[in-house]
Structure 1
Amino acid sequence: MTELSLARYKELAQYSQLCGHKIAYWQSYAPALAKKKDTILFIHGFPSASWDWHYQWKYLAREYSLLCSDMLGFGLSAKPQKYRYSLIEQADIYEALLLEKGIGDYHILAHDYGDSVAQELLYRQSLRAKTGEQTHAQLRSVCFLNGGIFAACHRPLLTQRLLKSRLGPLLVKFLSKDSLTASFAKIFGQQSQAKKSHVDIIWELIRYNDGHLAMPAILRYIDERSEWGGRWVEAMINASVPLYFINGIQDPISGRHMLDHYIDVIPNAHTALLDVGHYPQLEAPEEVLSLYQEFLSSLVTRDE
């Protein structure tokens, strides 16, 4: 698998001022023969960045227009300190980006923290459908990877719980690449452990502009999931667009137990399982790409 270097990731980044913040984003336009195809919006997880999607991006760019960004507090984007981070604002920023880029129909491929942002965007579309509010960007499907789709089933690591606590601002100063490596060892699959080069890049992106210091504030998303989870799950149950859940079942945070609950709650649940951990897009990149391409193809068939 060809790995995208951090230097190249930075070189390809573009920047826009969205909702008052400098946000790094990447955009790829479909080839001329496929220009009528919809856009895929990639939404990354905590604590990494859109770099996570580099393998899937490389191949999907041959057929689709693509768009992603590093969310506020992540990667190459602005990382304000002593700031009240919110999943709701992250959704606001994505809507502003979609509007700025003139995106019409689009699909979401999301992971972890990004699952919650995707749920909020799905909820907003369902609400607009009820009120008759018009918007240029129309969400056509959502594919979730491992994440806290259901707040009650989410099992955060002890490290995350401590960083979220009052001790977080103190403890985060002692966060290191070794501690990140140890955390990843717990959440990646037994046979698909994180590559050293991957940990190196993710760590550099976390540390960029002292981003590690913002982690305790960002982790309030765990509480937001409980606060807003009811409306998100209702939007999923009544979704008018196709949903798909690709789950790495070895994940202790949101693995098989999350998948089982998803199947119990979501009508006619469309799912796939992989024998990996919390980061399927890095642990089983080819399999995730293949499964997602099949899902997209099924949407075309359905529309026909």
Structure 2
Amino acid sequence: MRPELTDWRSRGDYFDHDGHRIFYIREGSGPTLLLVHGYPFNSFDWHRIWPELTAHYDVIAPDMLGMGFSDKPIRHHYSVLEHADMHQALLSSLGVSETLLLAHDLGVSVAQELLARQLEGAPGPHLDAVVLLNGGLFYETYRPRLAQKLLCSPLGHVAGPLMTSPIITAAVREMFGPDTKPTDDEMKPLLEVLYYNHGRFVSHLVGRFVGERQTYRDRWVDALVRTKVPLRLINGPLDPNSGAHMVVRYRELVPAPDVVSLPGIGHWPQLEDPAGVTEATLTFLRSVNSG
């Protein structure tokens, strides 16, 4: 394993959720900030903004089931609802009753489900503020790439194990801005995390959350529209999947939309423009705390 991944894993811990080992890393001090990563990688997606966040917050970042260093059961029905359950269970096990939240990609759907539960008055840690990065907030506006469509199709069980490093690298680079694409060396830890513990055999199963975005579209959009939790959207507008077109829809539906666009950035703002994401996140969270 590459040294940076060995270091990341060594700083974390595991907890049991429904018989599965879930990896998480927790560092820093201050108000709690939960980080919810995207698909198909893991909490290491946050490593470029981690030092600045942990300088101000008690930061908790788990790997969702089927990804990263968490268990990757092959015969399992992966679900956004289960991912939301896991995050709530982790916070409760750590004695956290309220938290700030930063989410990306698949993580924005988890955030929407948590906001929906809070609106319903369901038990669980309270969300005090939410920052959303690029992700499929609105199913009708979401534009999944060809590789993702293939993995989510009935042919996913065949295509998933055949996804070689060059194919995945090309698909990932397509999502970045033209001047921020990852180098081969930067892709290596991302690919190693994806393949860790036979990950290539479950990635297509995890990726079927796209269907849930259609199933729960009204519930998750209603959560954004009706919530009283302060929201900020930080968006890489050049993301072909959920870039500027997603911001247009966000402004149409979300009352008093708070949006920060990062010029020249694509789908992974926290990797492409860590300084911009950090500044926009900390400025917003500080304004919420001071208010």
Distance 1:54 1:186 in 2: 21
**Structure 1 unaligned residues grouped into runs of 5+:** 31-36
Q: Quote the residue 1:34 is aligned against.
A: none
Distance 2:228 2:262 in 1: 26
Q: Quote the residue 2:270 is aligned against.
A: 281
Deviates more, 1:3-12 or 1:251-260: 3-12
Letter in 2 for 1:16: F
1:282 to partner: Cα distance: 0.1
**Structure 2 unaligned residues grouped into runs of 5+:** none
TM-score under structure 1 length normalisation = 0.92
- Which of 34, 37, 46 is the matching residue for 2:39? 46
Q: Quote the residue 2:90 is aligned against.
A: 97
Distance 1:12 1:196 in 2: 25
Q: Quote the residue 1:9 is aligned against.
A: 8
Say how many residue pairs are matched.
289
Letter in 1 for 2:214: S
CA contact (8 A) 1:4 1:54 kept: no
* Aligned CA distance change for structure 1 residues 283 and 127 (closer, same or farther; 3 Å): same
Distance 1:154 1:23 in 2: 29
1:298 aligns with 2:287: yes
Identity %, equivalent residues: 37
Distance 1:105 1:13 in 2: 21
TM-score under structure 2 length normalisation = 0.96
1:88 aligns with 2:88: no
Aligned residue for 1:151, secondary structure, equals: coil
- Superposition map of 1:263-278 within 5 A: 263-275=251-263, 276-278=265-267
- Which of 138, 142, 150 is the matching residue for 1:162? 150
Aligned residue for 1:217, secondary structure, equals: helix
1:191 aligns with 2:179: yes
* Aligned CA distance change for structure 1 residues 159 and 134 (closer, same or farther; 3 Å): closer
Distance 1:97 1:243 in 2: 23
Q: Quote the residue 2:20 is aligned against.
A: 21
- Superposition map of 1:146-161 within 5 A: 146-161=134-149
CA contact (8 A) 1:19 1:96 kept: no
1:9 to partner: Cα distance: 1.1
* Aligned CA distance change for structure 1 residues 29 and 191 (closer, same or farther; 3 Å): closer
1:45 to partner: Cα distance: 0.3
Q: Quote the residue 1:33 is aligned against.
A: none
Letter in 1 for 2:9: K
Letter in 2 for 1:19: D
1:78 aligns with 2:71: yes
Distance 1:228 1:241 in 2: 20
Letter in 2 for 1:296: L
1:212 to partner: Cα distance: 1.3
CA contact (8 A) 2:40 2:207 kept: no
CA contact (8 A) 1:155 1:254 kept: yes
Aligned residue for 2:101, secondary structure, equals: strand
Aligned residue for 1:143, secondary structure, equals: strand
1:200 aligns with 2:188: yes
1:215 to partner: Cα distance: 1.5
1:134 to partner: Cα distance: 5.1
1:179 to partner: Cα distance: 1.0
1:172 to partner: Cα distance: 1.5
1:115 aligns with 2:104: no
1:20 to partner: Cα distance: 2.1
